[in-house]
Amino acid sequence: MADWETKEIRELKVGRYVNIDDEPCKIVSIDTSKPGKHGSAKANIVATSIFTGAKKSLVGPVSTKCQVPLIDKRKATILYTNGSEVSVLDAETNQEVVIEINDDHECSLEPGAEILYIVAMDRMKLL
């Protein structure tokens, strides 16, 4: 199963996701120009990486196909923390998953606490 689907740039919206340089990113802004005498309309997309927070941009004709990552939000219960990692039990699959603790997580990391995490392109992040 692919971790992304293909869409044209014209179908993208602010707040949705796009794959830029093999990094799933959340779209911050989209600027489009009118079609000119010698070409089609162009789009300039500014997005931030879900995992690193890095700012990325994508420029191209609005008819260009791009990858849109499939973002899966999941619930889990914390089993234990080990340094910079947390071990959780996924609520749907009942599998133990180890996730690296990111600096901007908003949840309590106490054992037994319910948390949310996302899975995108075989990578995971706490919310």
For residue range 39-93, list pLDDT tens digits in order. 889 999 999 999 999 999 999 999 999 999 999 999 999 999 988 899 999 999 9
Q: pLDDT tens digit string along 107-127? A: 778 899 999 999 998 899 998
**Superfamily the domain 72-126 falls into:** Nucleic acid-binding proteins (2.40.50.140)
Amino acid 106: pLDDT: 77
4-69 and 72-126 agree in CATH topology: no
Domains of the chain by residue range: 4-69, 72-126
Output the pTM of the full model. 0.83
Its CATH architecture, for the domain 4-69, is: Roll (2.30)
Q: Which residue has the higher pLDDT, 74 or 37?
A: 74
The answer to whether 18 and 68 are in contact (CB under 8 A) is yes
